[in-house]
Structure 1
Protein backbone atom coordinates (compact mmCIF):
# COMPACT_ATOMS: atom_id res chain seq x y z
CA UNK A 1 0.00 0.00 0.00
CA UNK A 2 1.20 3.51 -0.81
CA UNK A 3 -0.38 6.66 0.60
CA UNK A 4 0.19 10.21 -0.60
CA UNK A 5 -0.32 12.74 2.21
CA UNK A 6 -0.23 16.53 2.04
CA UNK A 7 1.49 17.15 5.38
CA UNK A 8 0.39 20.49 6.83
CA UNK A 9 2.75 23.03 8.37
CA UNK A 10 3.44 22.27 12.04
CA UNK A 11 2.79 18.52 11.83
CA UNK A 12 5.54 16.09 12.87
CA UNK A 13 6.50 13.41 10.31
CA UNK A 14 5.81 10.65 12.85
CA UNK A 15 2.77 9.09 14.47
CA UNK A 16 3.57 9.97 18.11
CA UNK A 17 5.16 12.92 19.87
CA UNK A 18 7.46 11.23 22.38
CA UNK A 19 9.85 14.15 22.75
CA UNK A 20 7.39 16.71 24.09
CA UNK A 21 6.59 16.65 27.81
CA UNK A 22 4.06 19.51 27.51
CA UNK A 23 1.02 19.48 25.30
CA UNK A 24 1.36 17.09 22.37
CA UNK A 25 2.15 18.54 18.97
CA UNK A 26 0.20 17.51 15.86
CA UNK A 27 1.44 14.26 14.30
CA UNK A 28 0.60 12.06 11.32
CA UNK A 29 -1.94 10.21 13.48
CA UNK A 30 -4.09 13.36 13.41
CA UNK A 31 -4.48 12.84 9.64
CA UNK A 32 -3.92 9.16 8.81
CA UNK A 33 -5.61 6.46 10.89
CA UNK A 34 -4.63 3.42 8.82
CA UNK A 35 -2.62 0.91 10.87
CA UNK A 36 0.78 -0.37 9.78
CA UNK A 37 1.91 2.44 7.48
CA UNK A 38 5.11 4.39 8.03
CA UNK A 39 6.65 7.47 6.38
CA UNK A 40 9.12 6.89 3.56
CA UNK A 41 11.36 9.83 4.43
CA UNK A 42 10.64 12.92 6.45
CA UNK A 43 9.55 16.51 6.18
CA UNK A 44 10.49 18.99 8.88
CA UNK A 45 7.73 20.26 11.13
CA UNK A 46 7.94 23.69 9.49
CA UNK A 47 7.79 22.28 5.95
CA UNK A 48 4.64 21.30 4.09
CA UNK A 49 3.72 19.02 1.27
CA UNK A 50 4.05 15.52 -0.07
CA UNK A 51 4.89 12.77 2.37
CA UNK A 52 4.66 9.15 1.23
CA UNK A 53 3.59 6.44 3.65
CA UNK A 54 3.73 2.71 3.05
CA UNK A 55 3.44 -0.66 4.72
CA UNK A 56 6.12 -2.09 2.38
CA UNK A 57 9.64 -1.90 3.85
CA UNK A 58 11.36 -2.47 0.50
CA UNK A 59 9.34 0.30 -1.14
CA UNK A 60 10.05 2.57 1.83
CA UNK A 61 13.80 2.03 1.32
CA UNK A 62 13.59 2.62 -2.46
CA UNK A 63 11.82 5.93 -1.84
CA UNK A 64 13.86 7.23 1.08
CA UNK A 65 17.40 5.87 0.68
CA UNK A 66 19.80 8.35 -0.99
CA UNK A 67 21.46 5.65 -3.12
CA UNK A 68 18.32 5.47 -5.29
CA UNK A 69 18.51 9.22 -6.04
CA UNK A 70 14.72 9.60 -6.18
CA UNK A 71 14.12 13.20 -7.37
CA UNK A 72 12.21 15.41 -4.94
CA UNK A 73 10.82 18.75 -6.14
CA UNK A 74 10.15 21.64 -3.79
CA UNK A 75 8.40 24.97 -4.24
CA UNK A 76 10.39 27.41 -2.13
CA UNK A 77 9.59 30.98 -1.18
CA UNK A 78 12.82 32.80 -0.40
CA UNK A 79 13.59 36.22 0.95
CA UNK A 80 15.35 38.23 -1.72
CA UNK A 81 15.32 38.72 -5.47
CA UNK A 82 18.03 36.41 -6.84
CA UNK A 83 19.54 36.67 -10.30
CA UNK A 84 20.47 33.65 -12.39
CA UNK A 85 24.07 34.21 -11.25
CA UNK A 86 22.91 34.08 -7.60
CA UNK A 87 21.28 30.69 -8.24
CA UNK A 88 24.22 29.20 -10.18
CA UNK A 89 25.99 27.78 -7.08
CA UNK A 90 22.93 25.65 -6.28
CA UNK A 91 22.98 24.24 -9.82
CA UNK A 92 26.64 23.31 -9.38
CA UNK A 93 26.35 22.09 -5.78
CA UNK A 94 27.42 23.95 -2.67
CA UNK A 95 29.49 22.82 0.28
CA UNK A 96 27.59 22.74 3.55
CA UNK A 97 28.92 21.76 6.98
CA UNK A 98 28.17 18.11 6.24
CA UNK A 99 29.90 18.18 2.84
CA UNK A 100 29.19 19.04 -0.77
CA UNK A 101 25.66 18.71 -2.14
CA UNK A 102 24.77 17.19 -5.47
CA UNK A 103 23.87 19.73 -8.14
CA UNK A 104 20.24 20.83 -8.00
CA UNK A 105 17.89 21.58 -10.85
CA UNK A 106 16.12 24.85 -10.25
CA UNK A 107 14.32 27.80 -11.78
CA UNK A 108 12.47 30.89 -10.68
CA UNK A 109 8.72 30.45 -10.91
CA UNK A 110 5.69 32.71 -10.59
CA UNK A 111 3.94 32.63 -7.22
CA UNK A 112 2.27 29.20 -7.17
CA UNK A 113 -1.45 28.80 -6.52
CA UNK A 114 -1.14 27.13 -3.11
CA UNK A 115 -3.37 26.95 -0.07
CA UNK A 116 -2.95 29.63 2.59
CA UNK A 117 -0.45 28.62 5.24
CA UNK A 118 -1.48 28.71 8.88
CA UNK A 119 0.18 30.67 10.39
CA UNK A 120 0.86 32.89 7.38
CA UNK A 121 4.38 33.63 6.17
CA UNK A 122 5.64 36.95 7.49
CA UNK A 123 5.47 39.74 4.93
CA UNK A 124 7.79 42.75 4.89
CA UNK A 125 7.16 45.61 2.46
CA UNK A 126 10.82 46.58 2.35
CA UNK A 127 12.19 43.10 1.59
CA UNK A 128 11.34 41.37 -1.69
CA UNK A 129 10.69 37.66 -1.95
CA UNK A 130 10.33 35.22 -4.80
CA UNK A 131 9.60 31.57 -5.50
CA UNK A 132 11.95 28.97 -6.90
CA UNK A 133 11.34 25.36 -7.87
CA UNK A 134 14.23 23.15 -6.82
CA UNK A 135 14.74 19.44 -7.49
CA UNK A 136 17.20 17.41 -5.44
CA UNK A 137 18.30 13.79 -5.68
CA UNK A 138 19.40 13.57 -2.08
CA UNK A 139 17.64 14.37 1.16
CA UNK A 140 19.77 15.67 3.97
CA UNK A 141 18.35 17.20 7.11
CA UNK A 142 16.91 20.66 6.29
CA UNK A 143 18.91 20.60 3.05
CA UNK A 144 16.84 23.02 0.94
CA UNK A 145 16.75 25.58 3.76
CA UNK A 146 20.50 25.27 4.34
CA UNK A 147 21.29 25.52 0.62
CA UNK A 148 19.23 28.67 0.07
CA UNK A 149 20.60 30.25 3.26
CA UNK A 150 24.13 29.42 2.06
CA UNK A 151 23.65 31.73 -0.93
CA UNK A 152 21.97 34.46 1.13
CA UNK A 153 18.32 33.58 0.47
CA UNK A 154 16.54 32.64 3.71
CA UNK A 155 13.66 30.23 3.16
CA UNK A 156 10.24 31.61 4.11
CA UNK A 157 8.07 28.70 2.98
CA UNK A 158 8.93 25.23 1.73
CA UNK A 159 6.44 22.89 0.04
CA UNK A 160 7.52 19.49 -1.29
CA UNK A 161 5.48 19.14 -4.46
CA UNK A 162 6.67 15.77 -5.78
CA UNK A 163 8.73 12.66 -5.14
CA UNK A 164 9.56 10.87 -8.38
CA UNK A 165 6.30 10.69 -10.37
CA UNK A 166 4.04 11.18 -7.31
CA UNK A 167 2.70 14.72 -6.82
CA UNK A 168 0.48 16.72 -4.51
CA UNK A 169 -1.83 17.60 -7.37
CA UNK A 170 -5.42 17.70 -6.05
CA UNK A 171 -4.54 17.04 -2.38
CA UNK A 172 -5.51 19.66 0.20
CA UNK A 173 -3.43 20.02 3.40
CA UNK A 174 -4.09 17.17 5.83
CA UNK A 175 -5.73 15.02 3.13
CA UNK A 176 -4.41 11.76 1.71
CA UNK A 177 -5.17 9.20 -0.96
CA UNK A 178 -4.11 5.60 -1.36
CA UNK A 179 -2.66 4.29 -4.60
Structure 2
Protein backbone atom coordinates (compact mmCIF):
# COMPACT_ATOMS: atom_id res chain seq x y z
CA UNK A 1 0.00 0.00 0.00
CA UNK A 2 2.86 2.37 -0.77
CA UNK A 3 0.97 4.13 -3.57
CA UNK A 4 0.81 7.90 -3.13
CA UNK A 5 -1.27 10.40 -5.05
CA UNK A 6 0.90 13.07 -6.58
CA UNK A 7 -1.98 14.65 -8.48
CA UNK A 8 -5.55 14.85 -7.20
CA UNK A 9 -7.34 15.23 -10.51
CA UNK A 10 -6.65 12.91 -13.41
CA UNK A 11 -9.50 13.76 -15.82
CA UNK A 12 -9.96 10.02 -16.35
CA UNK A 13 -13.37 10.08 -14.65
CA UNK A 14 -14.90 12.83 -16.73
CA UNK A 15 -16.74 10.30 -18.87
CA UNK A 16 -18.52 8.68 -15.91
CA UNK A 17 -16.11 5.87 -15.12
CA UNK A 18 -13.58 5.33 -12.40
CA UNK A 19 -10.68 2.98 -11.86
CA UNK A 20 -10.52 0.28 -9.22
CA UNK A 21 -7.36 -0.88 -7.54
CA UNK A 22 -7.27 -3.99 -9.70
CA UNK A 23 -7.13 -1.89 -12.88
CA UNK A 24 -10.77 -2.35 -13.91
CA UNK A 25 -12.75 0.65 -15.09
CA UNK A 26 -16.35 0.70 -13.94
CA UNK A 27 -19.23 3.20 -14.12
CA UNK A 28 -19.31 5.61 -11.19
CA UNK A 29 -22.71 4.22 -10.22
CA UNK A 30 -21.45 0.61 -10.16
CA UNK A 31 -22.50 -1.20 -6.95
CA UNK A 32 -18.84 -1.45 -5.92
CA UNK A 33 -18.36 2.32 -6.25
CA UNK A 34 -21.65 2.89 -4.41
CA UNK A 35 -20.40 0.73 -1.53
CA UNK A 36 -17.05 2.53 -1.47
CA UNK A 37 -18.86 5.87 -1.37
CA UNK A 38 -21.12 4.85 1.50
CA UNK A 39 -18.16 3.59 3.52
CA UNK A 40 -16.32 6.85 2.79
CA UNK A 41 -19.31 8.89 3.96
CA UNK A 42 -19.48 6.83 7.14
CA UNK A 43 -15.77 7.40 7.72
CA UNK A 44 -16.26 11.15 7.32
CA UNK A 45 -19.24 11.18 9.71
CA UNK A 46 -17.24 9.11 12.18
CA UNK A 47 -14.47 11.71 11.93
CA UNK A 48 -16.93 14.38 13.06
CA UNK A 49 -17.97 12.20 15.99
CA UNK A 50 -14.37 11.49 16.98
CA UNK A 51 -13.51 15.20 16.88
CA UNK A 52 -16.38 15.90 19.26
CA UNK A 53 -15.43 13.04 21.56
CA UNK A 54 -11.85 14.31 21.75
CA UNK A 55 -13.16 17.55 23.27
CA UNK A 56 -14.93 15.68 26.10
CA UNK A 57 -12.52 13.99 28.56
CA UNK A 58 -15.29 11.88 30.19
CA UNK A 59 -15.76 10.25 26.77
CA UNK A 60 -12.15 9.08 26.38
CA UNK A 61 -13.16 5.41 26.60
CA UNK A 62 -15.65 5.82 23.74
CA UNK A 63 -13.01 7.66 21.70
CA UNK A 64 -10.49 4.89 22.38
CA UNK A 65 -12.89 2.21 21.13
CA UNK A 66 -14.19 4.11 18.09
CA UNK A 67 -10.88 5.68 17.00
CA UNK A 68 -9.47 2.54 15.36
CA UNK A 69 -12.73 2.09 13.46
CA UNK A 70 -11.79 4.93 11.11
CA UNK A 71 -8.68 3.03 10.09
CA UNK A 72 -10.62 -0.21 9.66
CA UNK A 73 -13.19 1.59 7.49
CA UNK A 74 -10.32 2.73 5.30
CA UNK A 75 -9.24 -0.92 5.17
CA UNK A 76 -12.78 -1.87 4.15
CA UNK A 77 -12.66 0.76 1.41
CA UNK A 78 -9.41 -0.84 0.25
CA UNK A 79 -11.05 -4.25 0.15
CA UNK A 80 -13.89 -2.82 -1.90
CA UNK A 81 -11.53 -1.01 -4.31
CA UNK A 82 -9.19 -4.01 -4.67
CA UNK A 83 -11.26 -7.19 -4.53
CA UNK A 84 -8.27 -9.48 -3.93
CA UNK A 85 -7.07 -7.37 -0.96
CA UNK A 86 -8.03 -8.68 2.50
CA UNK A 87 -7.40 -6.49 5.52
CA UNK A 88 -10.20 -7.12 8.00
CA UNK A 89 -9.92 -10.08 10.33
CA UNK A 90 -11.98 -11.90 12.91
CA UNK A 91 -9.88 -10.13 15.57
CA UNK A 92 -11.42 -6.79 14.56
CA UNK A 93 -14.96 -8.20 14.67
CA UNK A 94 -14.18 -9.72 18.08
CA UNK A 95 -12.90 -6.33 19.31
CA UNK A 96 -16.20 -4.67 18.37
CA UNK A 97 -18.25 -7.45 19.97
CA UNK A 98 -16.23 -7.20 23.19
CA UNK A 99 -16.85 -3.45 23.38
CA UNK A 100 -20.57 -3.94 22.72
CA UNK A 101 -20.81 -6.59 25.44
CA UNK A 102 -18.82 -4.46 27.91
CA UNK A 103 -20.93 -1.34 27.34
CA UNK A 104 -24.20 -3.26 27.34
CA UNK A 105 -23.21 -4.69 30.71
CA UNK A 106 -23.02 -1.16 32.08
CA UNK A 107 -26.10 0.15 30.27
CA UNK A 108 -28.45 -2.70 31.02
CA UNK A 109 -31.30 -3.80 28.79
CA UNK A 110 -33.03 -1.38 26.48
CA UNK A 111 -36.63 -1.03 27.64
CA UNK A 112 -37.93 1.30 24.94
CA UNK A 113 -37.02 2.55 21.50
CA UNK A 114 -34.83 5.63 21.60
CA UNK A 115 -34.60 8.53 19.21
CA UNK A 116 -31.38 10.09 17.89
CA UNK A 117 -30.93 13.04 20.19
CA UNK A 118 -30.27 14.29 23.69
CA UNK A 119 -27.00 15.96 22.77
CA UNK A 120 -25.11 16.77 19.59
CA UNK A 121 -22.68 13.89 20.18
CA UNK A 122 -25.45 11.37 20.80
CA UNK A 123 -27.19 12.51 17.62
CA UNK A 124 -23.90 12.29 15.69
CA UNK A 125 -23.32 8.75 16.94
CA UNK A 126 -26.80 7.83 15.70
CA UNK A 127 -26.06 9.50 12.36
CA UNK A 128 -22.95 7.31 12.12
CA UNK A 129 -25.03 4.26 13.04
CA UNK A 130 -27.59 4.96 10.33
CA UNK A 131 -24.80 5.62 7.81
CA UNK A 132 -23.21 2.31 8.80
CA UNK A 133 -26.51 0.57 8.03
CA UNK A 134 -26.61 2.30 4.65
CA UNK A 135 -23.05 1.19 3.93
CA UNK A 136 -23.97 -2.33 4.98
CA UNK A 137 -26.93 -2.37 2.59
CA UNK A 138 -24.67 -1.25 -0.27
CA UNK A 139 -22.10 -3.90 0.63
CA UNK A 140 -24.79 -6.57 0.72
CA UNK A 141 -26.13 -5.44 -2.66
CA UNK A 142 -22.62 -5.71 -4.08
CA UNK A 143 -22.14 -9.07 -2.37
CA UNK A 144 -25.18 -10.41 -4.25
CA UNK A 145 -23.37 -9.64 -7.52
CA UNK A 146 -19.71 -10.02 -6.61
CA UNK A 147 -19.07 -11.93 -3.37
CA UNK A 148 -17.22 -10.00 -0.66
CA UNK A 149 -15.07 -11.39 2.12
CA UNK A 150 -17.27 -12.54 5.02
CA UNK A 151 -15.20 -10.48 7.49
CA UNK A 152 -15.99 -7.27 5.57
CA UNK A 153 -19.71 -7.92 5.89
CA UNK A 154 -19.44 -8.96 9.53
CA UNK A 155 -17.34 -5.90 10.39
CA UNK A 156 -19.75 -3.33 8.93
CA UNK A 157 -22.68 -5.07 10.62
CA UNK A 158 -21.01 -5.08 14.04
CA UNK A 159 -19.87 -1.50 13.61
CA UNK A 160 -23.45 -0.30 13.26
CA UNK A 161 -24.35 -2.24 16.42
CA UNK A 162 -21.36 -0.71 18.22
CA UNK A 163 -22.37 2.79 17.16
CA UNK A 164 -25.87 2.28 18.57
CA UNK A 165 -24.44 1.19 21.92
CA UNK A 166 -21.85 4.00 21.75
CA UNK A 167 -24.67 6.55 21.37
CA UNK A 168 -26.25 5.19 24.54
CA UNK A 169 -22.89 5.21 26.34
CA UNK A 170 -22.24 8.82 25.30
CA UNK A 171 -25.61 9.83 26.74
CA UNK A 172 -24.80 8.03 29.97
CA UNK A 173 -21.33 9.57 30.30
CA UNK A 174 -22.71 13.03 29.53
CA UNK A 175 -25.54 12.58 32.04
CA UNK A 176 -28.05 13.24 29.27
CA UNK A 177 -31.32 11.31 29.34
CA UNK A 178 -32.04 9.22 26.28
CA UNK A 179 -34.89 10.50 24.17
CA UNK A 180 -37.52 7.81 24.41
CA UNK A 181 -39.92 7.17 21.57
CA UNK A 182 -43.50 8.04 22.41
CA UNK A 183 -45.89 6.12 20.20
CA UNK A 184 -48.65 8.14 18.64
CA UNK A 185 -52.01 6.94 19.79
CA UNK A 186 -54.75 8.22 17.47
CA UNK A 187 -57.77 9.76 19.13
CA UNK A 188 -60.73 7.45 19.10
Q: Which has the larger radius of gyration?
A: 2
Higher relative contact order (Cα pairs below 8 Å, separated by 6+ residues) = 1
Larger helix share, 1 or 2: 2
Larger strand share, 1 or 2: 1
For normalisation by structure 2, the TM-score amounts to: 0.22
For normalisation by structure 1, the TM-score amounts to: 0.23
